[in-house]
Amino acid sequence: MAEMDRMARIKAEIVYPASLLPETLEDLIVRLDYLDNRAVALAAAHEIRDQIYSEGLILAVKKAIQGINRRDCLSSVSQAARAREDRLLRLRDSDGRAKARR
């Protein structure tokens, strides 16, 4: 279900004329859909070399996927930052004693 939700989010994010979208758009999205933006860029370059789809369509799908990945990453980074704030910092005093502080 999450996969279908992601597919719908990607389709909604694509900025390309609707009349020019091919029926096999989902196949292209599956080929380019990675959570790592570098992997998305490499897959897009590979698709451009294969010349099955137009370069503009590939770049529009790539941009949509990378934008979604960035937005999803921002929420996880903020959770990690909050977890870091709660962690205790272990230090040693000048006399060698272990001390914990926030």
Average pLDDT over residues 35-47: 94
**Mean pLDDT over the full length of the chain:** 84
How many whole angstroms separate alpha carbon 57 and alpha carbon 62?
Answer: 9
Question: In angstroms, rounded to a whole number, what is the distance separating the alpha carbons of residues 59 and 69?
Answer: 15
pTM exceeds 0.85: no
Which range, of 8-17, 43-52, 59-68, 80-89, averages the lowest pLDDT?
A: 80-89
pLDDT tens digit string along 56-100?
Answer: 999 999 999 999 998 888 766 666 666 665 565 666 777 777 776
How far apart CA 66 and CA 41 sit, in angstroms, is 9
Answer whether 90's CB lies under 8 Å from 98's CB: yes
